[in-house]
Amino acid sequence: MQAAEISMAGRIIVLLDLLINEIHLGYVIYGKTRNVRGLAQLVDKEDWIKVKGTHEPLKTEAEHELILVKIAQNNIIPKKTRNGALPLSGLLYCAKCGRTMQYRRTVTKNEIYWSTVCVHTYPDGSKCDQKGRKLDSAFYHALYSTFLSIHAIGAMFVKVTFWIIVQV
């Protein structure tokens, strides 16, 4: 494959890999894999051997930490959400098949509302039978309560702005 054939998404992934790589800090890392019965197995990151190498670092530890923080900030909220498409775009997943839920705007005589649906089709041609849910104030209050309970336990959780819940 030539460089011109690589998609933009592929280029971004390569660039991200280069940015987060610790080799550019001057380290040489050994022991990422081990050979077990002729098959390579990944080793836990704690067990890697990381040594300051003989090559000159291309970035400092402070620059590397700043890069990781910036990447983490961008990963917290999916691109569609950052663009303001819908507040929960890319954050809701189907409980049955694990795919991201899609949003539908429904207009009736009495109201206009948004709902979530799963449109995943399995390889055998059957569709996911997840019913979906109307995104009403009860939904947002239940979501907010779940976030609070997870936060109370002390679990690591993605920060989400709850401006829509306040407006409901």
Extract the tokens encoding 28.
């040489």
Please state the φ and ψ torsions of residue 124, each to the nearest 5 degrees: -80, 0
Question: Three-state DSSP class for 104?
Answer: strand
Task: Tell me the residue type at 81.
Answer: T
Q: Tell me the mean pLDDT in the region 145-157.
A: 59
Q: Per residue in 56-102, pLDDT tens?
A: 888 888 988 888 888 877 766 666 666 656 667 777 888 888 888 88
Q: What integer pLDDT is reported at residue 9 of this predicted model?
A: 66
Q: What integer pLDDT is reported at residue 83 of this predicted model?
A: 62
Please report which confidence band the pLDDT of residue 37 belongs to, taking 50, 70 and 90 as the band edges.
confident
Q: CA gyration radius for the chain?
A: 22
Q: What integer pLDDT is reported at residue 81 of this predicted model?
A: 61
In angstroms, the Cα distances linking 7 to 12, 49, 90, 145 are 9, 34, 22, 41
Q: What integer pLDDT is reported at residue 95 of this predicted model?
A: 81
Please report which confidence band the pLDDT of residue 155 belongs to, taking 50, 70 and 90 as the band edges.
very low
Residue 108 has pLDDT above 50, yes or no: yes
Q: What integer pLDDT is reported at residue 76 of this predicted model?
A: 61
Q: What integer pLDDT is reported at residue 168 of this predicted model?
A: 31
Q: What is the DSSP string of 34-71?
A: EEETTEEEE--GGG-EEEE-SSPPSS-HHHHHHHHHHH
Lowest mean pLDDT among 26-35, 97-106, 154-163: 154-163
